Chains A and B, each alone.
Chain A
Amino acid sequence: MKLLKNLLKSPMFVAGITLFLGTIILALIGPLTYPITLERVGSQYSTPFGRFFLGTDHLGRDYISLLLRGLRASLYVGFLAGTIATTIGTLLGIYGGFKGGIIDDMINMITNLFIVIPSFVVLILISGSFEDGRSLTLIGLIIGLTTWPWTARAVRAQSAAIKSKDHISLARINGDGTLLVLLKHILPYLASYVFMVFILQVASGILSEAAISMIGLGPLDSISLGTILNQAKNNGALGDGVWWAFIPSTIMITVIVFALYLINTSAEGVFNPRLRK
């Protein structure tokens, strides 16, 4: 609780969390209050502030509906990928760092292997081969499954450092099993760290989805902010000056990612007092 109070004292954190909660609320409440239609409702690229507040796209679809759907999809992908990457990475990292020995060596080897193979390449290769069932969830899964090594490496270092602390030895003497020690005595120490890693993983998940959609390998079953940009680009909105086709979604992506970075940076400042001043 004291931690939360300290966090709330940081204006950067407050700004970040407000922006981020704002986008979540928009994604959740928006579809309830605004009549979403993904059908053709107007002419191609009708200008904003008329019948449609944000105009229509190349198929005459209402941009507000598309954006609300897209925002929700992008947040969903971010959370899915972030959760998977953080969970796998944290579990493997804590366990490996604490246990040491052959299991640690093996986890380390896999981690180091997949850290140097660019995950975007893996994303392109897998997405390219799933033409039929390329869903939003699949993309989130792939992103999560290719980005966990960063978490694992970072958490492992932290966990290995905590291992030799006195209270761990005490718990050991007390007869606590490995799992109990990990959950009760090591995880709480790492909680703030894992939280920051999670925030960054969510942000990178959202960006990865947008990037893979931009090159035309995005989800086929849903509209995301990335697919909106991809369609805008493919239909010449950029060169024709149809700004409403890409400005709102670029702003949305930027706001989400920037908010997450703000949260991460300010949290780092609170958790690591040396950066404050």
Chain B
Amino acid sequence: MLKQYPSLRYILQRGVWYLLTFAVAVIINFFLPRLGSHNPVDIIMGKFSAGMSSEAARAKEEAYLKEFGLVKVRNGEILRDAAGKPLKTSNTEQFVNYIKMCFKGDLGTSFQKYPKKVLQVIIEAIPWTIALQLPTILLGWITGNVLGALAAYRRGAFDRVLFPAALFISALPSFVFGMLLLYYFSVVMNWFPAMGGYADAIVPSLSFEFIQSAAYHYLLPFLSIFCILAGGQAIGMRSMGIYELGTDYIKYAKWLGLKESRIIGWLFRNAMLPQLTGLALSLGTMIGGALITEMIFSYPGLGMAILTTIQNNDYPMIQGCTLLITTSVLLANFTVDILIGFLDPRVKAGLRIGKGN
């Protein structure tokens, strides 16, 4: 099938594969929290059947159970057992409900922030996470790669200083680095604010005041992610560069007496490929990648949302966030696969002779 269009076939193949993976991820996302002793359904059911005091409270609670698909419903009425208690739905039925809701773009309602929708909470938090992560990842990636390439090519003193430093910084867990930065620069030196994404007194708007305050709060979390990322990228680029420098085609080009700038051009084009993959992957982990940094700086992004969510056992929120993180990672991986298919001559050649991937 599609033998004459190898690229299209490749994309379709990968697409089907990732759809399958996505299905598994959704199943895991739904069933894992229901495995343990701390079953979310039992907790909610317990909470609601314990506090059956007034009629009004009960009506509200039952509307709630209905909305989450935790009780059996026929023609809009809750089915009950002999004692008048609502009948619980089975796991499979709940799963079907969940999938139906997901297709409608409805991730459920937050327990803790009821009646706020999960999607709404996420949409409020996401811009902060992206604003923190996207520029940081791009800048860190560029800086790291330039430094790593220089270290690989120059070696010598530059490399001897940069390599251990990069190794040390990238070995620092991001939360450790974040905590140290926070402690030193905002608690000890009092240069930067310790908490939040902007000053409490300001209402978020496009005013100069707000932007200034946001930038001021931005710097420390930015630094804590940037340095570690740049360090890691520098190490990767350095070893790729050294590896490529030792390959036959570079030696051959040198023997041919080609210009150095031209050789370097080839060298880094080849060394770049895994780094590009790395970039796409870190963009995919962007949403879930800085959860703990956000928590440490009390930055109003998804990390804080997840933290409060976990503290309050807000399962629809947890599931919504984890589904979002997984989806973005899968999308990034899919993009990488497609990119490699077009950029890597080896994979491309494989496609041309029709061997698939």
Contact = CB atoms under 8 A, between A and B. Distances in A.
Interface stretch (A26-34, A50-58, A79-87, A116-124): A116-124
A147 B56 CA distance: 49
Interface size class of A (residues with CB under 8 A): 35 or more
Interface stretch (B216-224, B248-256, B290-298): B290-298
B173 A124 contact: no
Interface in A83-119: 112-113, 116-118
A110 to B, nearest CB: 10
Contact of B326 (A118, A131, A132, A217): A118
Interface in A222-277: 229, 233, 238-241, 243, 246-247, 250, 253-254, 257-258, 261-262, 265, 274-275, 277
Q: Which of B18, B167, B171 has the largest count of A CB atoms less than 10 A from its CB?
A: B171
Given A215-B306, A215-B310, A129 B40 contact: yes
Nearest to B297: A238
A210 B28 contact: no
Contacts of A210: 173, 175
Contacts of B69: none
Given A118-B326, A130-B38, A253 B24 contact: no
B187 A118 contact: no
Interface residues of B, number: 57
A125 B183 contact: no
A132 B24 CA distance: 27
B199 interface: no
B310 A125 contact: no
A133 interface: yes
B242 A274 contact: yes
Which secondary structure dominates where chain B touches chain A?
Answer: helix
B288 A121 contact: yes
Interface in A205-225: 207, 210-211, 214-217
Given A215-B307, A238-B187, A274-B242, A128 B38 contact: yes
Given A129-B34, A132-B38, A238-B296, A257 B285 contact: no
B40 A257 contact: no
Nearest to B184: A243
B296 A121 contact: no
B34 A116 contact: no
B330 interface: yes
B176 A254 contact: yes
B182 interface: yes
A128 B318 CA distance: 9
A254 B172 contact: yes
A239 B239 CA distance: 40
A238 B171 contact: no
Given A238-B194, A275-B239, A275-B242, A125 B29 contact: yes
B110 interface: no
Nearest to A116: B333
Contacts of A246: 179, 183
A117 B329 CA distance: 7
Interface in A178-227: 207, 210-211, 214-217
Interface of B: 17-18, 20-21, 24-25, 28-29, 32-40, 155, 167-168, 171-173, 175-176, 179-180, 182-183, 187-188, 194-195, 239, 242-243, 246, 285, 288, 291-292, 295-296, 306-307, 310-311, 313, 315, 318-319, 322, 325-326, 329-330, 333
Given A125-B32, A211-B292, A216-B307, 20 more contacts: A112-B21, A117-B330, A118-B325, A121-B326, A124-B310, A125-B318, A126-B36, A129-B38, A132-B38, A214-B175, A215-B295, A215-B310, A238-B296, A241-B183, A243-B183, A246-B179, A253-B173, A258-B171, A262-B167, A275-B239
Interface of A: 112-113, 116-118, 120-122, 124-126, 128-133, 207, 210-211, 214-217, 229, 233, 238-241, 243, 246-247, 250, 253-254, 257-258, 261-262, 265, 274-275, 277
26 contacts: A112-B21, A117-B21, A118-B285, A118-B329, A121-B326, A122-B28, A124-B318, A126-B35, A128-B33, A128-B36, A128-B313, A129-B37, A129-B38, A130-B36, A131-B38, A132-B37, A133-B37, A217-B310, A238-B182, A239-B194, A239-B195, A246-B179, A250-B179, A250-B180, A258-B171, A274-B246
